[in-house]
Structure 1
Amino acid sequence: MSPASHTPTGAHGNWLDYPDVRLVHTLAGAVIQLADLGTLSAFSLPYPAEAQRALDRTVLACLMRGVEEVPRSLPELLFWCHSRPLEDWPLDLPPDAFGPDDFLVDPEALVPTQLCHEWWIRGRDGGAAHFDREVVHTAMRLCRNASSPESYVAFRRLLVERPVLTGVERFETETDLYLAPVQELLDQCYAAVPVSYEYGGAYITCGRCLTLLTPLAGGGWWCERDRCRRRGAPPHGRTLYGAEAAGLLQLARPLRQFVTGPGRAEVELQARLTALGLQVQLWPGFDAYDLRISFPDGHVWAIDVKDWKHPGLLGRAAQPVRAEPPYDEACWVVPREQAEAHRDYLGTYRRNRLAVAGGLPLFTDDQLVTLAAARLGGARGPQLKDHSPRPQPPSKNGPDRA
């Protein structure tokens, strides 16, 4: 990534002051569109409109910076997406935007990365980019109308714990009384599984995150969750073939990305806090926030869990935790593995956190468990405080890559 031609004023300079931020949104949208149409390894003219726009704008950005090597075709642009980390693209981007392993297309599986989906979802590409939020809000409305918070919890648990359903399992959900208010919505959440997940007549789920594994051309299997891959080779969960594979369904990718993924982290964190002896409620008040933690003295924490790869985007999405059900302190939490994979994850979040967030602190899950144990051990006073130093403007000596 070339040094910025200018530096926004102040520690919280607007990302949109950098000319190529919108281009990254366009690139991410093009990659997602192409992946929805088929494999990313074979396309012919005419290119889809979004992909052609991404190619044209990338070439223009390169030419404006005097770069001789430019992608001359869509296959070359896609080659850049899986062979060059975004920090090495000749683009004018914020200094803490990307790191050395930030690709739009995974180099092994040749599918859009979690980072690509995060940039797409944070873009301004219309309703499709907000599908996950529309589904969740519709579920809230339906369950409120039915006066059944239990139905909403059952719906969220289904999306977290069963991102893959056989035909028989989908039929079983139709007889679940708790899921009755959201039955029609489930038809929009689950879709038929593409044959790209099949190998040797079988489909295999990940034993950790429960989503389907993607078979690799050179052998082996790939899990779409970044946090899962950092734990090592994905363990095999269920092997589905024959009658079980017929009519196989999986959640739409935005739901797997922004509901199932964080939901796994939420359930894991709930278990760890419950083991300390705390009362922990999942998704209280129709998902006002993720975890409501009650201490023996009546003190309450409100927690939202965010399993995002990109801390800068997370900072720019930060907003205060909703006030009801009431609580005494609140924060956001990110899985430790996610934070460790990005240099200065928490610092990058803070530097990009907007004023509207009101200083909302971010901790890793390990840090939160440590703070909870300390409070149970007698610590008093506010615990969920942002102890970080004041953010500093980007260095004038060049970009501080994160």
Structure 2
Amino acid sequence: MHPAPDLPPHAAVWSAHDGLPLLRTLATALIGLEAITGLDGFSLPYPAEAQRALNRTVLTCLLQGAEPPVSLPELLTWCRYRPISDWPLDLPADAVGRTDHLLDPDSGRPTELCHEWADRAADSAANQRDREIIRTALRLCRDCGEEDAYTEFRRLLVNRPVLTSVEFFDVTNDHVLDPVRELIRRIYLPVPASHLRAGAYAGCARCLTLLLPVQDGSWWCERDHCRRQGSAPVGDLWPTEEVGELFQLERPLRQFVTGPGRAETDLEHALITLGLRVRMWPGFDAYDLHVTFPDGHVWAIDVKDWAHPAFLGRAARPVAPEPPYDEAFWVVPEYRVDDRPGYLDIYRRHRPASARGLPLLTDADLIARAAARLRGAPDGGIHA
């Protein structure tokens, strides 16, 4: 299959490396295994996708003259403790970072990067569950002419990824959310018992998602940004005897909507604090933030909280022209750039020609640029 003609030469060569399909297979298998078994126990026969991942890994190792994993548990040990960069895989230069893992070494759960390999490395956007849900919500709200319903739906997914039974009832009976009521019922799922400790669930005080109990008595947060700030701070506690069933957003939405949404609302708050006017998800989510300066100058901003800069570059596209604006940016949280050497350069190398003029800034750089503009200072060096 020939690469899409819009891809830059550096990105187009990805199709020549046979380690990439294997990583996608592994990531998909790991996420499926977590849903079925919790990744903590197996019996033969293995699930079909897991067996396929093991078979392909063994074959790849043999072709590379390397010792393969002899069982699924050993393959999971590789995924948890062995950086992908140390695997005998044929991968292009920007595919993995030096410390990338498919499973988190502390918790044994799929990393955010693993979810990106499963959901973002696929060629077809139809395979991306989060976009499917968002497109459905947009269609339902547009059909009803209810832009406010869509905005409230997005805020729900960002600010309330966990709901008690009572809250779930209230949300699904909120008339503002009428167009997406049935969709909400499908995307909030019962929380598995693996999240329980001493009969209670715990929420993260920083990112609002559920925490996972770890054997050493600590808690693990699924968000990279949260973990890099230190031990997970316990926020809300939900004893099962008081709340009954607990519901949480399905994982693709927590990964690709809740997480970036926190970055979006943090940026909203910072820009409002500067004295700017901000509309969130304008024009039925044409982009994330519509920012108006006192002189009427308008910025359009899309926030992309992605771990893998090459995936982000390959997904780059011009910001939608409506609602109208004077300048447009993609923005990534600064911690992503700090965590991955060369993040911005990798993004630029993989950005297609149609998005060559789309700058990627960190949130800190964008805030500084906004403050400088308010002072009447030059914008400074922002490279596209």
Answer whether TM exceeds 0.5 for this pair: yes
Q: CA deviation at 1:38?
A: 1.6
Aligned partner of 2:128 among 127, 130, 136: 130
2 CA distance for matches of 1:363 and 1:126?
A: 26
Structure 2 residue identity aligned to 1:55: L
Q: CA deviation at 1:279?
A: 0.5
What are the Cα deviations for residues 78-112 of structure 1, in whole angstroms up to 9, with x where unaligned? Answer: 11000111111111111122223211011111111
Counterparts in 2 of 1:107-256, with a 5 A limit?
107-124=105-122, 129-256=127-254
Is 2:9 the partner of 1:40? no
What corresponds to 1:398 in structure 2?
none
What corresponds to 2:54 in structure 1?
55
Structure 1 residue identity aligned to 2:190: A
1 CA distance for matches of 2:212 and 2:126?
A: 24
Structure 2 residue identity aligned to 1:372: A
Instruction: Mark the runs of 5 or more structure 2 residues left unpaired by the alignment.
Output: 1-7
How many residue pairs get aligned? The number is 378
Q: CA deviation at 1:174?
A: 2.8
Q: CA deviation at 1:243?
A: 3.9
Q: CA deviation at 1:358?
A: 3.0
- Match of 1:249, SS state, is strand
1 CA distance for matches of 2:115 and 2:63?
A: 27
Aligned partner of 2:383 among 387, 390, 398: 387
2 CA distance for matches of 1:119 and 1:76?
A: 21
What corresponds to 1:392 in structure 2?
none
2 CA distance for matches of 1:238 and 1:379?
A: 44
Asked if structure 1 preserves the Cα contact closer than 8 Å seen for 2:329 and 2:360, the reply is yes
Structure 2 residue identity aligned to 1:277: G
2 CA distance for matches of 1:101 and 1:202?
A: 34
Q: CA deviation at 1:361?
A: 1.1
Counterparts in 2 of 1:331-342, with a 5 A limit?
331-342=329-340
What corresponds to 2:74 in structure 1?
76
Q: CA deviation at 1:386?
A: 5.0
Structure 2 residue identity aligned to 1:387: H
What corresponds to 1:259 in structure 2?
257
1 CA distance for matches of 2:180 and 2:53?
A: 38
- Match of 2:153, SS state, is helix
What are the Cα deviations for residues 50-103 of structure 1, in whole angstroms up to 9, with x where unaligned? Answer: 111111111111111111x21111111111000111111111111122223211
What corresponds to 1:26 in structure 2?
25
Change (3 A) 1:264 1:313: same
Asked if structure 1 preserves the Cα contact closer than 8 Å seen for 2:172 and 2:185, the reply is no
Change (3 A) 1:200 1:289: same
Q: CA deviation at 1:126?
A: 7.8
Alignment RMSD (CA, Å): 1.9
1 CA distance for matches of 2:178 and 2:291?
A: 29
TM-score, L = length of structure 2: 0.94
- Match of 1:14, SS state, is helix
What corresponds to 2:13 in structure 1?
14
- Match of 1:205, SS state, is strand
Change (3 A) 1:322 1:128: closer
1 CA distance for matches of 2:202 and 2:10?
A: 46
Asked if structure 2 preserves the Cα contact closer than 8 Å seen for 1:331 and 1:384, the reply is no
- Match of 2:300, SS state, is strand
Instruction: Mark the runs of 5 or more structure 1 residues left unpaired by the alignment.
Output: 1-8, 389-402
Asked if structure 1 preserves the Cα contact closer than 8 Å seen for 2:121 and 2:311, the reply is no
Asked if structure 2 preserves the Cα contact closer than 8 Å seen for 1:303 and 1:333, the reply is yes
What are the Cα deviations for residues 191-211 of structure 1, in whole angstroms up to 9, with x where unaligned? Answer: 000000000001000001000
What corresponds to 2:352 in structure 1?
354
What corresponds to 2:3 in structure 1?
none
Asked if structure 2 preserves the Cα contact closer than 8 Å seen for 1:167 and 1:244, the reply is no
Q: Which has the higher contact order (CA 8 A, sep 6+)?
A: 1
Q: CA deviation at 1:123?
A: 3.9
What are the Cα deviations for residues 162-203 of structure 1, in whole angstroms up to 9, with x where unaligned? Answer: 000000111111332211111111011100000000000010
Structure 2 residue identity aligned to 1:65: Q
What are the Cα deviations for residues 260-319 of structure 1, in whole angstroms up to 9, with x where unaligned? Answer: 000000000000000111001110001110001111111111111111111111111111
Q: CA deviation at 1:356?
A: 3.0
Counterparts in 2 of 1:83-98, with a 5 A limit?
83-98=81-96
Change (3 A) 1:374 1:267: same
What are the Cα deviations for residues 207-227 of structure 1, in whole angstroms up to 9, with x where unaligned? Answer: 010000000012100000001
Change (3 A) 1:340 1:374: same
1 CA distance for matches of 2:43 and 2:383?
A: 53
TM-score, L = length of structure 1: 0.90
Question: What percentage of aligned pairs have identical amino acids?
Answer: 56
What corresponds to 1:365 in structure 2?
363
More helix by share: 2
2 CA distance for matches of 1:215 and 1:12?
A: 40
Q: CA deviation at 1:32?
A: 0.9
- Match of 1:28, SS state, is helix
Structure 2 residue identity aligned to 1:137: R
Structure 2 residue identity aligned to 1:48: P
Change (3 A) 1:326 1:70: same
